[in-house]
Amino acid sequence: MANKALEALKKNLQAKLDQARKATEGATSLPEGVQGPLLPNSGNARGKKEGLAHAREGHAGRRGDILEAFNNKTGDYKGRADNAKPPLLIKVSIAGSGFEVWKTHKNADKTIDTELARIDVPKLDGIVSDWAPQSYANDKGDASFSGPLVAGGLVDQGKNSIDNLAKTVPPVILKAIPKDYKDGSNVVLIIKAHSRGAVAASIISKKLKSSMPKMKIELTQFDPVPGPSQRGKKVDIAVGDYTKPGKGKKGKAKDVKTSDAVDESTVIYSMGSGYAKLKKADLGFFTPQRVHGAKRIIVSGQNHGGGLLKGFMYNKEKFKGARVNSLPPGAYHDVGVISDGGEDDGVMQIEKMTKDDFMAKLAFTDSIKVADADRKRYDIVRKSLEEFFAKNG
């Protein structure tokens, strides 16, 4: 079963390529049924199946946004040739500690979605079986990796530890790319991850960018937390160019270049871990990873993993999962929760803020939300924002 699932993953990616090529083959412009109308910028259309345009090819999230841009020749694909090779979209999720799959990939009874099949076969793309990470794939060609599972995810050990995921996931992804795209041109990797999985995802993204620079990588990190006694990139990483603020009144800011920067990035920081009562202030069990150079920072008053299940609402449009990378670059803070009893009940509303407004909002949130045990978390968020505004104004 597992061997067949891995082969299905590879064949499905090739099938997507063949299908997309067929739609554009021999045409001076895309057929009407493929191009379709532009979607209105409305939460009532984008993100809901009944409102999808043909250009989105049946996809509601970030994948649909990219396909819409390609088929309608907008955004990154503005001015593309009519016979341009369509983008190959690979979607990867890495769960947080103690979770076998992404939370939305579980049924109401907490069983794993039957569309997912185990793919950590005896020999997973050259990885010795004992250290092949626990992983799954579905018939859409999506891959899902478990977070650390030893002792229920309490410790960062085993085949799904941060280090082993960072070592073993890149070859799985690289070998799933069809030969037509082997140089990475027009390949888009959409990777979303939570907690320790998000820490691993940041390292994985940089490794893949270094080995295949032409591949476009989009990274979404939900509250990246490495856990105690970690070091190096697991606690401090640059995913893009950034600016170090100057110290003191006369200090000069310093621009820092990142050679293996990812193409799109969003980090979501929660202001409270939700576990403050279980630890002392100096242990830092839930101190987040310091992420430099993210194009978007979302700060939420929610607990660890805020926004992971329900997403965020911005300008009456929902951004959930990897689709937060469709938000305009900027720094966001939640301003309230929807409580109308409808399908968006419980979704946090966010707003883009200036530096002065953001710091005032952050200070207010700190005064009512952040426990002493989460003080290091608050300091990381504050420093990340100071750095973000030093670069972006």
Sign, Cα dihedral of 333, 339, 340, 341: positive
| Residue at 35 is within a domain | no
Dig out the tokens for 173 from the structure. 């992804």
Q: Look up the domain containing 285 and give its range.
A: 88-392
Is 64 part of any domain?
A: no
Question: Is the model's pLDDT at 39 over the cut of 70?
Answer: no
Number of compact structural domains in the chain: 1
User: Quick check: is 287 in a domain?
Assistant: yes
Burial class, 29, CB count within 10 angstroms (exposed 0-12 / middle 13-18 / buried 19+): exposed
Residue 319 lies in a domain: yes
pLDDT tens-digit series, residues 4-22: 655 666 666 666 555 555 5
* 356-367 per-position pLDDT tens digit: 888 887 777 666
DSSP states of 264-326: EEEEEEES--S-GGGS-TTT-TTPPPEEES-SEEEEESS-TTTTTTT-EEETTEEE-GGGGGG
In the predicted structure, residue 158 carries a pLDDT above the cut 50: yes
**Residue 19 resides in a domain:** no
Domain assignment present for 49: no
Q: Assess contact for 270 and 304: CB atoms under 8 A.
A: yes
For 179-225, the pLDDT digits (tens) are 888 889 889 999 999 999 999 999 999 999 999 999 999 999 999 99
Residue 216, CA atoms < 13 Å, CB-side half-sphere: 17
Round the average pLDDT of the chain to a whole number and report it: 80
Q: Is residue 202 part of a domain?
A: yes
| 22 belongs to a structural domain | no
- Pair 158, 149: CB distance under 8 Å: yes
CB 352 within 8 A of CB 393: no
Predicted TM-score (pTM) of this structure: 0.86
- What pLDDT, on the 0 to 100 scale, is given for residue 14? 60
Residue 235 pLDDT greater than 70, yes or no: yes
pLDDT tens digits, 311-323 = 999 999 999 999 9
Q: pLDDT tens across 259-270, in order?
A: 999 999 999 998
